[in-house]
Amino acid sequence: MIKFFEKDPYAPIQYVYDIEKVLYKGKSKFQEIMVVENPYFGKMLILDGVVQITERDEFFYHEMLVHVLMHAHPNPENIVVIGGGDGGAVREVLKHDSVKKVFFIEIDEEVINVSKEFFPTVSGSINDSRVEIMCMDGAEFVKNRDKDIDVIIVDSTDIVGFAKSLFTVEFFKSVRDCLTDEGMFVTLSESLHFHKDLVIEVQEAMRLIFPVVDLYTAPLATYAGNWWTFSVASKRHDPRIMRRKFQIDTRYYSDEIHAQAFLPKGFYDRLMARGLKW
Amino acid sequence: MIEERFINKQTWDKVLNFIALSDEPSPYLLIDRDVVREKIDLIGKNIRNSRVFYAVKANPDREVLSYLNSLGIGFEIASEGELRILSDLGVEPDRIITSNPVKTLVFLEQAVSYGIDYYAFDSIAEVDKLSRYAPNRNVYVRLTVPNEGSEWPLSKKFGVELEDALGLLIYAKEKGLNPVGITFHVGSQCNNAYNWNTAIEKARDLWEMAADKGISLSMINLGGGYPIRYTRDVLSIEYIEKKINRLISEKFPSDLTVFIEPGRAVIGDAGVFVTSVIGKSRRGDENWLYIDVGVFNGLMESVGGIKYSYVVGSRNEPKPWTIAGPSCDSFDVIDKEVILPEPEVGNRLLILSAGAYTISYASEFNGFSIPKTILI
């Protein structure tokens, strides 16, 4: 059986997967796209040599990316999903009846097409009438809206550009300005094992612009470092508190998981004070 | 990253914090107090018996001058407008000199009544003016010196050669003034250390010629000229000053007083212009980027050869740009072939080392306002 060696430039660890079959290999304007079949994980989507999702465990990531804020917000109606061309985040968003509109902003149309073909269980909801697909840069989309979005979900490993930069500052300000006064924003922010300092920097950059900033984590088997963080910024509401009843169908996320996903307060404060030594 | 090479990390961090926290509309000029203070601590440190007078023309913003005043340094001024601000700030007259060799009568009268005691000159007409309005005051003559290697040469308008300078010192003494020294200017943004050699040797010749005529001098004024980083590395102030100090120690008496008049070196790299992209276009095979600061409202020096470093918060592919200001004048082009990742309209464009000779040159031509200066 052939092997796939993952090429994650930021990870101090390398994963190797058995491959039964290469189902697709192509190059879009933005990246190299590959779909392979693994005996344990099933189909896997790989972008520029880094595993994005696998059929077997994508729900951990997508549920945790989406449902925390969808329950912390009192009434999420207008949602923006940036990135996540596989459609998994959109699928989770649409589980909420409150949702009236989803702007699905993916710069690379090819990822959407490949996902439609090979991951129908993930991408199946993107044809819903509430979803508007726009193939453009997410940073550009958020610049041109005015306080009408309830929740923004960044489903990308790099839109934040990680550390504090002029891009980050401008992006976060645009995000703030397109959210309603009760609006909330979540983005993946790397592993607490391998990129603790980066996590702190993203949190600090968010704190400059949003009054409420917090961090929760989820266990993700196929992302290097596994203990992945989600950075949350909110204009008013504490995201630790659920403002809506948990009544959707999920496999991992629940009200119990919501309650324990956030770092304990004291531990979070120690992290931000750079008091955690590893 | 350009911002790591041409701006220190602390300043960059403060700039980003300011942009994050503030809703101030662009354009504006941010000045990092800490950089200004470090420069004030550094300049003059390696030259014996020296006094530093900030050249107000480099950036005459009221808050900037007030901050510099709190650091206790001196000021070099040229006009009644500059004097008015210093007077409002309560700067003592013994901390002010004027090195403008051709002063207006209004300014001269006000300077004398304020109590300023040091005046430059380089012509008979100026000696006549000074003897009438500023009798008995200390005066110093401006020598021409080579400006090769400075990015903003300026010696043609002012200064005289040795023989004329000697004649003027003698004439000034006859007219009841007190000739105390010599000044020169090696050119602004001077990256040629040898210019100071030539200048100091020439001053030494004049010093001896004056002594032979019974005029005993006690001061030399080095003017400005210390360079700052724009798009390339430059000589360090420490290096230049150690060289100057060695020369002065060899060639002048040990009780010599040295004046230094830095402007750009104090405020230049403490400043970051925060501007916005207001338009883009492709004309022929050139990419044009239009921003809300131009030649007329802050970037006049770009026309004279100063090349700035730019930062945009974009992650697109870099390409070459012609950068232009907002006015309708076709002369309003700031730079060409600047490699930058493509920004979007509305994105910020930051211009580094923009603290000096930017706001001070700005006009409201075409209705574009003069950017505000903010200390951080």
The pLDDT value given to residue A161: 56
The residues of B annotated with a catalytic role in the active site are 328
Q: What angle do CA B19, B23, B29 make, to 5 degrees?
A: 55
Active site annotation includes A255? no
Residues of chain A neighbouring B277 (CB-CB closer than 8 A) = none
B16·A165 Cβ contact <8 A: yes
Whether the CB-CB separation of B211 and B13 falls below 8 Å is answered with no
Whether the CB-CB separation of A164 and B13 falls below 8 Å is answered with yes
φ/ψ bin of A162: left (φ > 0), alpha (ψ from -120 to 50), beta (otherwise): left
The pLDDT value given to residue A157: 65
Whether the CB-CB separation of B49 and B255 falls below 8 Å is answered with yes
Which residues have a Cβ under 8 Å from the Cβ of A175 and sit 6 or more positions away?
Answer: A142, A152, A185, A233
CB-nearest partner of B313 from A169, A208, A209: A169
Smallest Cα distance from A209 to chain B, Å: 6
Provide Rg for chain B, Cα atoms: 22
B315 exposure class (CB count in 10 Å sphere: 0-12, 13-18, 19+): middle
The pLDDT value given to residue B233: 84
The pLDDT value given to residue A52: 94
CB-nearest partner of A165 from B17, B21, B313: B313
The pLDDT value given to residue A163: 67
HSE-CB for A28 with a 13 A CA cutoff: 18
A140·B344 Cβ contact <8 A: yes
Separation in Å, CA B294 to CA A107, B302, B330: 33, 9, 11
Tell me the pLDDT band of B157, cut-offs 50, 70 and 90: confident
The pLDDT value given to residue B45: 95
Note the pLDDT tens digit of each residue in B18-41: 999 998 999 999 999 999 999 999
Strand partners, A198: none
Which chain A residue's Cα is nearest to B350? A166
Residues of chain A neighbouring B350 (CB-CB closer than 8 A) = 166
Tell me the pLDDT band of B230, cut-offs 50, 70 and 90: confident
Whether the CB-CB separation of B266 and B36 falls below 8 Å is answered with yes
The pLDDT value given to residue B171: 96
The pLDDT value given to residue B229: 87
CB-nearest partner of A166 from B16, B344, B346: B16
Reduced to 3 states, what is the DSSP secondary structure of residue A10?
Answer: coil
pLDDT in tens, chain A (278 residues): 899 999 888 889 999 999 999 999 999 998 999 999 999 999 999 999 999 999 999 999 999 999 999 999 999 999 999 999 999 999 999 999 999 999 999 999 999 999 999 999 999 999 999 999 999 989 889 988 889 999 999 998 665 555 678 889 999 999 999 999 999 999 999 899 999 999 999 999 999 999 999 999 999 999 989 999 999 999 999 999 999 999 999 999 999 999 999 999 999 999 999 999 99
Residues of chain B neighbouring A167 (CB-CB closer than 8 A) = 313-315
Instruction: Give residue ranges of A with CB < 8 Å to any B CB.
Output: 139-140, 143, 161, 164-173, 205, 208-209
Residues of chain B neighbouring A170 (CB-CB closer than 8 A) = 19, 313, 347-348
A169·B314 Cβ contact <8 A: no
Residues of chain A neighbouring B348 (CB-CB closer than 8 A) = 166, 170
Residue A11 CB neighbours (<10 A): 18
Whether the CB-CB separation of A43 and A55 falls below 8 Å is answered with yes
CB-nearest partner of A164 from B16, B344, B348: B16
Distance CA A147, CA B162 (A): 70
Strand partners, A82: A105, A154
Residues of chain B neighbouring A161 (CB-CB closer than 8 A) = 315
Task: Flag whether residue B345 sits within 8 Å of chain A, measured between CB atoms.
Answer: no
The pLDDT value given to residue B50: 96
Note the pLDDT tens digit of each residue in B192-228: 888 888 999 999 999 999 999 999 999 999 998 898 8
What's the whole-number average pLDDT of chain B? 92
Note the pLDDT tens digit of each residue in B342-358: 999 999 999 999 999 99
Of A8, A57, A86, A155, the active-site residue reads: A155
Which chain A residue's Cα is nearest to B349? A166
Whether the CB-CB separation of A92 and A63 falls below 8 Å is answered with yes
Smallest Cα distance from B288 to chain A, Å: 20
The pLDDT value given to residue B59: 96
Q: ipTM of this predicted complex? A: 0.81
Start-to-end CA distance of chain B, whole Å, equals 23
Whether the CB-CB separation of A199 and A187 falls below 8 Å is answered with no
B311·A166 Cβ contact <8 A: yes
> Residues 7 to 66 of B: which have CB under 8 A from any A CB?
13, 16-17, 19-21
| Count of pairs with CB atoms under 8 A, one residue in A, one in B | 37
CB-nearest partner of B19 from A140, A161, A169: A169
Whether the CB-CB separation of A53 and A44 falls below 8 Å is answered with yes
Smallest Cα distance from B297 to chain A, Å: 24
Residue B251 CB neighbours (<10 A): 16
